[in-house]
Amino acid sequence: MCERIEDLRRKFRLIYIDPPFLSGTSYSLKTRSKDEKDAAGKVEDTPTYNDKWEGVSDYLSFMKPRLGMMRSLLTENGSLWVHLDWHVSHYVKILLDDIFGYTNFVNEIVWKRTNSPKAQSRGFGAQHDVILLYAFNSQQFKLNQVFRNHDEKSLKPYSYEDARGKYRLIEIEAQGIQRTESRRQFEWRGRTAPYLYRIETLDKWWEEDLIYRSRNGRYTKKQYLTDTLGVPVSDLWFDIPPVQGGSVEYTGFLTQKPEALLERVIQSATDQGDVVGDFFAGTGTTAVVAQRLNRKWLLCEEVESTVEIIRQRIQKMDLPVEYAFSSFQRAGHKAKRLRKHV
Ligand SMILES: C[S@@+](CC[C@H](N)C(=O)[O-])C[C@H]1O[C@@H](n2cnc3c(N)ncnc32)[C@H](O)[C@@H]1O
């Protein structure tokens, strides 16, 4: 990451990181034995990274210069997404407020990462991770709207049906606090009301048979299920399951993140052709998804065995991928850099 840092300044539309977070754990890679005599397929453990620190300040002094450096790599409309959990997210929020400025904080996303939290001797079982999202400049930053699939609850309002399919009714008159005295009322098709839309718009919807008239003469608009892209995503991400042991994407790396999670991050924060960075790459989920979504990418990872997994994941993709791996050593710090057309 530091090899040609000057050339990389202001190049990244998105940096997503999922760094160590003071979990106090040493992680390993679990792989099935290749020994053919071992029919049961013994599981081999290869040590990977050590998330042990001398305390919070030791951890924060590791993170601080790296976060500052990452900010300098972002484009004017770029953003940094930092994936953490309860161990350090509050401390890192304060660091990031300092580095980015409090007003450039955009969201704290809560990802429900498991359905079965471990029982705790004290307190509640932890079930979620946190992603802190900062814009380089919140005035220039805009998320692409992303949608999640409908579920039983969100489908409930679609209880009406006609020849065009299932639909729900949405208000076209001001409701509650929208109903201010200054809001102009006007008469439309026999009903005077504080309409939210102009007469031309209402007439257009009428002609398209999108207006529903109730028995008491009140109008609402029909929204057909087939016209919706799903439910707009909020800062609560409860619909993306963790990587399961038997799934196609599973690599045996305990802290591997699901491709669906990175898909949401990358689609929200970038457009095709943009450059995406991940400097704590692990198994390279960010590269796999960025590649599939037609983004350029650059990754850093310090553990040889995980770099090998990234290499295999990239090679497995049925796409004409061009990429390069490089390694460098600086001030006793060894890291591997992986890139694609940056
Ligand atoms: C939580 S894992 C990332 C998992 C990744 N998001 C995935 O989906 O596989 C954190 C990674 O950061 C790497 N790492 C730790 N310190 C690093 C450093 N100083 N430079 C580069 N990578 C580092 C670890 O080896 C580990 O693979």
CA dihedral angle for residue 100, residue 257, residue 268, residue 201, rounded to 10 degrees: -140
Q: Is residue 183 scored above 80 in pLDDT?
A: no
Diameter of the chain by CA atoms?
84
Q: Is residue 247 classed exposed, middle or buried when 0-12, 13-18 and 19+ CB atoms within 10 A define those classes?
A: exposed
H-only helix segments in 88-222: 89-100, 152-155, 199-207
Nearest-atom index, ligand 1, CA of 333:
19
Pocket test for ligand 1, best of 84, 301, 325 (most atoms within 8 A of CB): 301
Rounded to 10 deg, the angle between the 285-292 and 304-316 helix axes is 20
Ligand 1 centre to CA of 19 (Å) is 5
Q: Which residues line ligand 1 at a C-beta cut-off of 6 Å?
A: 18-20, 48-49, 253, 255-257, 280, 282-283, 285, 300-303, 306, 335
Task: Tell me the pLDDT tens digit for each residue of 31-70.
Answer: 876 665 665 667 889 999 999 999 999 999 999 999 999 9
CA gap 82, 13 in Å, rounded: 14
Residue 320 pLDDT greater than 70, yes or no? yes
Distance 15 CA to ligand 1 centre (A): 14
Please state, rounded to an integer, the average pLDDT across all residues of the chain: 92
* C-alpha 74 – ligand 1 centre gap (Å): 20
Nearest CA to ligand 1 atom 2: 282
* Pocket test residue of 280, 306, 327, 328 for ligand 1, highest count of atoms within 8 A of CB: 280
330, two tokens: 């600086």
Residue minimizing CA distance to atom 18 of ligand 1: 302
Q: Which of 54, 50, 7, 60 is nearest to 25 (CA)?
A: 50
12 Cα to the center of ligand 1, angstroms? 19
Closest CA to 68 of 59, 76, 80: 80
Pick the residue whose CA is nearest to atom 3 on ligand 1.
282
Atom of ligand 1 nearest to the CA of 257: 8
| Buried residues in 152-163 as b, exposed as e (16+ CB within 10 A) | eeeeeebeeeee
- Phi and psi (nearest 5°) for 205? -65, -35
Lowest mean pLDDT among 72-76, 127-131, 242-246, 319-323: 319-323
187-225 pLDDT, tens digit each? 999 999 999 999 999 999 999 999 999 999 999 999 999
- The answer to whether the beta carbons of residues 110 and 120 sit under 8 Å apart is no
Q: Whose CA is nearest to atom 26 of ligand 1?
A: 282
Block residue for tokens 């995503």: 233
- Going from N- to C-terminal start, the domains of the chain cover 5-146+233-340, 152-227
Whether the Cβ atoms of residue 130 and residue 148 lie closer than 8 Å to each other: no
Q: Which atom of ligand 1 is nearest to the CA of 251?
A: 9
What is the distance between the alpha carbons of residues 84 and 230, in angstroms, rounded to a whole number?
28
CATH 3.40.50.150 for domain 5-146+233-340, yes or no, is yes
Kindly give, in sequence order, each residue whose CB lies less than 8 Å from that of residue 185, ignoring residues fewer than 6 positions away. 192, 193, 194, 195
Cα(52) to centroid of ligand 1, in Å? Answer: 13
Closest atom of ligand 1 to CA, residue 49: 25
Question: Pick from 170, 174, 200: which is nearest to 188 by CA?
Answer: 200
Atom number, ligand 1, closest to the C-alpha of residue 262: 8
Q: How many CB atoms lie within 10 A of CB 274?
A: 21
Phi, psi of 31 (to 5 degrees): -130, 150
pTM of the model: 0.90
Q: What are the tens digits of pLDDT across the range 110-167? A: 999 999 888 787 899 999 999 999 999 999 999 999 999 999 999 999 999 999 999 9
If one counts every other C-beta atom within 10 angstroms of the C-beta of residue 128, the result is: 16
**Integer CA distances (angstroms), 111 to 133, 178, 239, 251, 269, in order:** 13, 32, 9, 21, 17
pLDDT at 238 over 60: yes
Query: For atom 7 of ligand 1, which residue has the closest CA?
Result: 256
Q: What is the rounded distance in angstroms from the CA atom of residue 190 to the CA atom of residue 28?
A: 71
| Main-chain phi, psi angles of 187, to 5 degrees | -90, 130
